[in-house]
Homo-oligomer: A and B are copies of this chain.
């Protein structure tokens, strides 16, 4: 065995002999030469094995290796401009680790159900691997952005004692003979955190038991929720904008070639620059009406409405000041028009829908208590939340960004099921 190497760092070993350990992704053969596409989890490289260059044993191994067999392969690294990785391996020896049985995922087209049933293997395919690597980088970019700007990570609890806004979309569990619900958002806890640490965020899985089979819904998805003390709606929109611009730039910087390989048009992502358009809800309603939609003032936008709105803009845009009636009890009223809330949604372009929801929170004790009563919520359950307005209340705002929708937009995916390693949908709990 020579120096061990990974494919994504192979350039450091040009003209040297290295050993790679991985799996056979694909193979072409003539009588005297085999072209092995080998993957090791970091990339794919072509390995050329000539009968004249290797032992009889190595050549026989190359002959019999099946797709996804594991192997250890040694050879000289050659720069090759035609190769996708820029390098090729001239094999000097090859050993089999384990021969794979006939691999169920062939290059031919498979149905989505079949691929989802084989998600544990499907992840090995080039396309899925790229998406997961971009996801890994996105999570890191999100955390780095916030960590570098003085935010304290404060993990929100998953088990929550109360059904804030009805139980229909909540998963419930028996918690030592009490009822507990799986969190839909860590926001209320982040408000407590902002009063303690100034700038906080949580980033974890959240859950929605929605009986919905659309291409935008998962029952289990990851959300990052920053919350900042002494922030108003404008500050919040500035942060959202800077956050998204920074994330997109970083992903393009690191994964441009891979994203292009997904057949995603990256010019649309290059346009994600400040400033993002900021329109009032009322203006958005005007746009929809102008486009012939029979939209009733007061409601939230549906998927179709969002798509129509996004046709107006070449980058993400923000819609602010939604009617109070379509937002949660904790939203702050617009002092200039109490029918409106200081809320904001950010919508992705290209009809990819809402990627961020946020706003300024009600910080007045009496107003919040009244809102809880009006929403017929259990007062005791929110006593701790109301406390935050009793002991040193300050203006504060925050937002939530869903990782999967964001990633789906970045990668240009039609369905959110490819954005998470093991997707959970209404009819999908396996593997």
Q: How far is the CA of A174 from the CA of B427 in the complex (A)?
A: 13
Q: Interface code A133-168, partner B: CB below 8 Å = 1, 0 otherwise?
A: 101100110010001001011111111110000000
Contact of A192 among B68, B120, B152 (CB under 8 A): B120
In the complex, what's the smallest C-beta–C-beta distance from A218 to chain B, in angstroms? 10
- Let me know if A150 and B42 touch, CB within 8 A: yes
* Cα of A193 to Cα of B107 in the assembled complex, Å: 21
- Residue from B121, B211, B393, B429 within 8 A of A70 (CB atoms): B393
Inter-chain contacts of A421 with B (CB < 8 A): 154-157, 189, 193
Contact B100 A390 (CB under 8 A): yes
For A100, give its contact among B156, B161, B198, B392 (CB under 8 Å). Answer: B392
Main secondary structure of the interface of A (DSSP, over half): mixed
Interface contact B124-A195, CB-CB below 8 Å: yes
Most buried by B among A205, A207, A391: A391
In the complex, chain A residues 15-49 whose Cβ is within 8 Å of any chain B Cβ? 21-24, 40-42
Stretch in A176-184, A287-295, A343-351 with 4+ CB within 8 Å of B: A176-184
Q: Quick check: B120 and A384 within 8 Å, CB to CB?
A: yes
A101 within 8 A of B: yes
Contacts of A391 in B (CB 8 A): 68, 100-101, 103, 121
A41-B101 Cα distance, complex, nearest whole Å: 58
- Check B393 against A161 for contact (C-beta < 8 Å): no
In Å, the complex CA distance between A171 and B205 comes to 16
Question: In residues 94-132 of chain A, which contact B (Cβ within 8 Å)?
Answer: 97-98, 100-101, 103, 118, 120-121, 123-124, 128-129, 132
Hey, which chain B residues are within 8 Å of A427, CB to CB? 176
Distance of A203 from chain B, by nearest CB (Å): 9
Report chain B residues within 8 Å CB of A390: 100-101
Binding site for B on A (CB under 8 A): 6, 8, 21-24, 40-42, 68-70, 97-98, 100-101, 103, 118, 120-121, 123-124, 128-129, 132-133, 135-136, 139-140, 143, 147, 150, 152-161, 171-176, 178, 180, 182, 189, 192-199, 204-205, 207, 209, 211, 219-220, 222, 229-230, 363, 384-385, 387-388, 390-394, 420-422, 424, 426-427, 429-431
